[in-house]
Structure 1
Amino acid sequence: MTWKDFRERYEEEKLATLADKTFLSATSALNHIERVLNPDRLSKLTAATMSQFQAKLRAEGMKDTTIACHLRAIKSALSWAASVGLIPKVPRIERPKRTKGERFMRGRPVTTEEYERMLQAVPKARPNDPEPWKRLLTGLWLSGLRLGEAVSLSWDQDAAFCVQLAGRRPVFRIYSEAQKSNRDQLLPMTPDFACWLLETPEADRVGPVFRLPGLVDGIPVQAARAGEIIRRIGAKAGVVVDREARWVNEKVIDSKTGKPTGERRRVLKEVPKYASAHDLRRAFANRWAPRVKPVVLQKLMRHADIQTTLKHYVDLDVDDMAEELWTSWGQGSVPAGPCGNTSGNTATNQEDSQKRALRNSLSRKAL
């Protein structure tokens, strides 16, 4: 089967039934296959060519996490092809693996001080319309929403993803077409975000919760563009969450004259990674992880897999965890010395010893 025929069938018969985000993720991966390998037939995708595909993407500076995402999408496509008899079996695809002790670091939770710096930096990145972007940053900080979710969040009850205020407590209502699980759900929101939403006058509770009109044509800004603007705000605020290797075009300097030759060369450089919308989401998770059980945080974060949620508990500060343990145990603070020698339980132990001695004495007299 030709690659073109396979792709047409896969998009029409399989991808058309999936969520929009899944469709975009799959087509992006297939586009990379065509760009890098340019196969004329589906059978050209073998274990060897997929290994070469990974190597070429890595040489271009693509992160292992992004490569792994593309490979998952490609493997799903090939699994479908095998299930309908287009290929005899799925070729072996080795995805990038972490070495022991290594983490795929893509960012970190921003601190409260960094978040406040980002708010102050909004006018530098958006001098003509700072207020909608300050509102979006505040909403992301308080809600833990993914950027795409925040952009699509609506006051309107017939929207795919909306705020429902009519019940006992404010909640999110998500219709099946708005999420990967393909099911309708009511999900909790945190009290601070709910109170912040309720500050909105009732007359304004129509349409998008976060209105982000474009400066030129007034068309609402989409999630991808909003992500770029938030990263620019992070850069203006100087909030660096990581460093990453990136291919950049560098001017070629003549070694003799010290002047640019007019040519450019592609070099791999380590550059700072500035705070993004997802780093605000990480901050939300870390703030609520000490306060709620993992299953509650999973609902707040809308994670399909509890293991994804548990990663946020790994990053908790050990002093915060210790304080939470002592508070739960009923102690106001950590005792000065060993638990067995505190003044409170020393008196209790002495009283218990006296009672035991009296019982023993009475028992001997009875005998």
Structure 2
Amino acid sequence: MSDQPTVSVQWYWRSSRNRYFLKWRDPRTGQKRSERTGLDTRGKRNDGRAKELAILKSQTLSKQWDEPNETTWESFRALYLDRRLSKRSEGNRRKFVNAAAIFEDVMHSSVHGVLELRHVTPRRLLDVEAEMDRRLSPGSVSSYIATLRAAFSWAASQGLMPVLPKRMPDPIDYELPAMRLAPITQESLERMEAAAVRVVGRRHAASIQEYLRCLWLSGCRLMEPLDMHAFRHDKHRPIGLNSPAPMFAWVNTQKNRRDQIARITLDFARWLAPLVEQREWLFQPTCEHGPITTGSRLSSIISEIGERAKVIAEPGETPKFATAKHFRSSFVTRWSQRGMSIEQIQAIVRHASRVTTEKYYLAPIEPVAIAEFAEADWIPAVEPRHEQYQRGMTERETIGNET
């Protein structure tokens, strides 16, 4: 008598899907499994067919577990690429191939002979993960391990191997990137503006210089200045630049795809006010090939400007020059040095969480004395309640008049 457990497969009708389903419990792991059938019409005839499918599935599963599994890794690899990844993106296929190469290097060092799926154990996967830790970054390790485990889960669903236990990843202690240790200063910005002439030529330098200063003064994201308009409601637009509390309406830029009205600093408002009176589209950077409309092109030009100006944003053994990504973090660090609270900075840069502002944008640098800066350049930390109410009513009237 066989000591292998039998598999009891049941059938049922699922109204929400209008289809018959099969369900059973894996006798080895205790996990519930389900599978849909091709029967989508409920009736006595299909009840009988679903019952026959359940019996056939039970026999198939019992036979798979009764017989020893000797599926080779090479055959499974080809099967997985052909059946599972054939319609996936090229990036997914390439990631699996790269992860499989590391997996094979580790497994062949501990398995003698032909590598089979039955050789895959949680202990050996830990060895694979350790090897990935030596070769890859922490984020890539998690991605590669998830790719391998997805392949093994699919193999288990096909009855080619037992289900592996869940992986409990170790917490990763993220460190602040070095780029936030050297924010772009006023002097560094002026050097980059001067270098813009050598990168894009005198004819287009002014548009690039205005774009760079906008990033530096506002702390906005890379592509947002290109959608800044003087008055259009479907674009980013200023509100009350000459008021004590200037604001900006940001359209469809948040992760929840909602519009947001946020405060801006007074120095950015004073610099932007003349541009609003002169033109409708506030920033249109150009180069010798015409208007710059893509983020990749903008990033490339800013990187070249930072290298020409010798502005180091990430000091170290191999220092890195300033690029587009350093402007936003420089804004946070600069205003934190001036004494602005984290809550105010978070509102200006539109982060949903204070943790994001502190952890990924704020540099651990000693604060500069506030007396060195003009107090009129930044927002007061405390505002009386009656002034908050009056300002809120004024902002509502302003938005209503624009509408």
Q: What TM-score, normalized by structure 2, do the two folds share?
A: 0.51
CA contact (8 A) 1:121 1:237 kept: yes
CA contact (8 A) 2:85 2:93 kept: no
Q: In the alignment, what sits opposite 2:275? A: 200
User: Structure 1 220/114 Cα, relative in aligned 2: closer, same or farther at 3 Å?
Assistant: closer
Q: In the alignment, what sits opposite 1:215? A: 288
CA contact (8 A) 1:140 1:280 kept: yes
CA contact (8 A) 1:143 1:189 kept: yes
Matched, 1:110 2:157: no
Q: In the alignment, what sits opposite 2:173? A: 97
CA contact (8 A) 1:172 1:188 kept: yes
Q: In the alignment, what sits opposite 2:384? A: none
CA contact (8 A) 1:143 1:284 kept: yes
Q: Following the alignment from structure 2 to structure 1, what is the Cα–Cα distance between the partners of residues 141 and 82?
A: 19
User: Structure 1 313/147 Cα, relative in aligned 2: closer, same or farther at 3 Å?
Assistant: closer
SS at match of 1:147: coil
Letter of the aligned partner of 1:68 in structure 2? G
Q: In the alignment, what sits opposite 2:328? A: 281
Letter of the aligned partner of 2:353 in structure 1? D
1:82-128 deviations in Å (ceiling 9; x for gaps)? 9xx98987644457535xxx643234202221121111111122225
Q: Following the alignment from structure 2 to structure 1, what is the Cα–Cα distance between the partners of residues 368 and 350?
A: 27
| 1:222 CA displacement | 1.4
Higher-Rg structure is 2
1:319-339 deviations in Å (ceiling 9; x for gaps)? 527999xxx9xxxxxxxxxxx
Q: Following the alignment from structure 1 to structure 2, what is the Cα–Cα distance between the partners of residues 158 and 126?
A: 32
CA contact (8 A) 2:219 2:349 kept: yes
Letter of the aligned partner of 2:179 in structure 1? R
User: Structure 1 241/219 Cα, relative in aligned 2: closer, same or farther at 3 Å?
Assistant: closer
Letter of the aligned partner of 2:200 in structure 1? R
| 1:156 CA displacement | 6.0
Q: In the alignment, what sits opposite 2:349? A: 301
How many equivalent residue pairs?
262
Alignment gaps of 5+ in structure 1: 12-26, 59-63, 245-269, 329-367
**Greater length-normalized contact order (CA 8 Å, ≥ 6 residues apart):** 1
User: Structure 1 123/308 Cα, relative in aligned 2: closer, same or farther at 3 Å?
Assistant: same
Q: Following the alignment from structure 1 to structure 2, what is the Cα–Cα distance between the partners of residues 143 and 74?
A: 40
Letter of the aligned partner of 1:292 in structure 2? M
SS at match of 1:241: strand
1:339-362 deviations in Å (ceiling 9; x for gaps)? xxxxxxxxxxxxxxxxxxxxxxxx
CA contact (8 A) 1:68 1:95 kept: no
Letter of the aligned partner of 2:267 in structure 1? D
| 1:234 CA displacement | 1.2
User: Structure 1 122/322 Cα, relative in aligned 2: closer, same or farther at 3 Å?
Assistant: closer
1:157-201 deviations in Å (ceiling 9; x for gaps)? 344x5124369654332344x322343321221122122222115
Matched, 1:188 2:263: yes
User: Structure 1 284/318 Cα, relative in aligned 2: closer, same or farther at 3 Å?
Assistant: closer
User: Structure 1 32/115 Cα, relative in aligned 2: closer, same or farther at 3 Å?
Assistant: farther
| 1:139 CA displacement | 0.4
| 1:134 CA displacement | 0.5
Write the mapping of 1:37-52 to structure 2, written as runs, cut at 5 A.
37=99, 52=131
CA contact (8 A) 2:248 2:264 kept: yes
Letter of the aligned partner of 1:124 in structure 2? R
Root-mean-square deviation (Å): 4.5
Q: What TM-score, normalized by structure 1, do the two folds share?
A: 0.56
Write the mapping of 1:224-243 to structure 2, written as runs, cut at 5 A.
224-243=296-315
